[in-house]
Amino acid sequence: MQFSILVLSVASLLATTAVNAFPVADPASATLTKELAKRDGPGVYYCNDPNFTTDCFWLDVSTNSNGWCVSLLGTPWYKLISSFGPDPGVTCSLFSGDNCEGSHLDELVYPGLAETYSNQWDNQAGSFKCHVNK
What residue ranges do the domains of the chain occupy? Answer: 25-132
- pLDDT in the model for residue 13: 37
Whole-number pLDDT of residue 27 = 52
In DSSP terms, 105 is beta-bridged to: 94
pLDDT recorded at residue 19: 32
Confidence check: pLDDT of 39 > 70: no
Q: What percent of the chain has pLDDT over 90?
A: 54
Q: Is the pLDDT of residue 20 over 60?
A: no
The predicted pLDDT at position 48 comes to 94
Q: How far apart are CA 70 and CA 42, in angstroms?
A: 16
Bridge partners (DSSP) listed for residue 104: 95
Higher-confidence residue: 24 or 91? Answer: 91
Q: Which residue has the higher pLDDT, 134 or 66?
A: 134
Q: By C-alpha distance, which of 20, 81, 16 is closest to 53? A: 81
Distance CA 58, CA 92 (A): 13
Describe the strand order of the beta sheet including 68-71 as a list of residue ranges.
Answer: 68-71, 127-132, 90-95, 104-108
Q: Which pLDDT band, with edges at 50, 70 and 90, does 65 fall under?
A: low
Domain spanning 25-132: CATH 3.40.1390.10: no
For residue 109, which amino acid is it? V
CA 69 – CA 52 distance, rounded (Å): 22
